[in-house]
Amino acid sequence: MKKAKYLVTFLVMAFMLILTACGTSETSGNGSDDSSDEKKTLRVVTDAAYAPFEYQDKGEIVGFDIDLIKAVAKEAGYEIDIAHTGWDPIFVELEKKIADIGISSITINDDRKKTYDFSVPYFLSTNKIMVPEGSPIKSAEDLKDKTVAVQNATTGQEAVEGLLGKNSDQIKKFENNNLAIMELKAGGADAVVADNTVIEEYAKNNPNDKFVIIEDKDAFAQEFYGLMFSKGSKIKADFDKALNEVFDNGTYAKIYNKWFKVDPDVQLLKD
Ligand code: ARG
């Protein structure tokens, strides 16, 4: 009887040990450990609330960026694990080297280059303004006495700060872009400023919201998206090479066509 009790205790403990082992192996960060040559599964982080680039569909992370990073990682010979962390954590994880790659319609700019490395550019974008049909807003200048919703810590926020002043209380900042759009819908803001493709797609796919898009080339610069890495990342070279491969072998055009129904201007990215 006593023996049986020991056996049960032993089995329970062994089982618990196995469980703990599985748990830790799953959560242990696989950041940028350079100590071995063996290719580890890379942690890719994204803010999957930016359709059509990255969003969630029935619990799955999908989008142009997602197809692209899968193709590029395959080309480079790496396994990846894509996590929806939200926007701000992308920057935190890459700075702390918890993640290996950020792909999230991230604009390459000088400020970010101080802290991160970027791949070659893979997409051309610009900020545009989304307003309700019939809005008096016709240009960026017209935003000056209006309330504008943006996603926090984006180039959209920066551009609007340039127009309204850095501490303007007319700027409403949200953790993700969908919340900014909801604010516009609810009448809490007069406009949303965000990457053109995202708001153009939104306006097109949600005709009942009756939103229109305003372009202002003088106010909003051209931007290029890049994969973002930790400073000094050892994998950047492999991914640049793979990106160029994917540009040249038609894979990029295939993915672009799937999402945007037109052919890309690959040369533009290379110039
Ligand atoms: N391109 C802009 C930037 O880099 C906005 C990107 C936002 N991306 C996202 N997945 N929410 O600041």
| Residues 72-81 pLDDT 10s | 999 999 999 9
- CB 118 within 8 Å of CB 227: yes
How would you classify the pairing of strands 222-225 and 123-132? antiparallel
ipTM over 0.90: yes
Mean pLDDT value of segment 136-151? 98
Residues in the chain: 271
Supply the residue whose CA is at minimum distance from atom 5 of ligand 1: 154
| 53 CA to centre of ligand 1 in angstroms | 10
The Cα 107–Cα 231 span in angstroms is 16
| 180 CA to centre of ligand 1 in angstroms | 13
- CB 225 within 8 Å of CB 243: no
Residue entry with tokens 């996590």: 83
- From 55, 68, 104, 105, the mutation candidate for ligand 1 (largest count of ligand atoms within 8 A of CB) is 105
213 burial (CB, 10 Å; 0-12 / 13-18 / 19+) is middle
For ligand 1, residues with CB inside 6 Å are 47, 49-50, 54, 87, 104-107, 151, 154-155, 177, 195
**What digits encode the pLDDT tens for the residues 7-56?**
656 555 655 555 455 443 333 344 444 444 567 899 999 999 999 999 99
- Residue 78 is encoded by which pair of tokens? 């790496």
| 210 CA to centre of ligand 1 in angstroms | 24
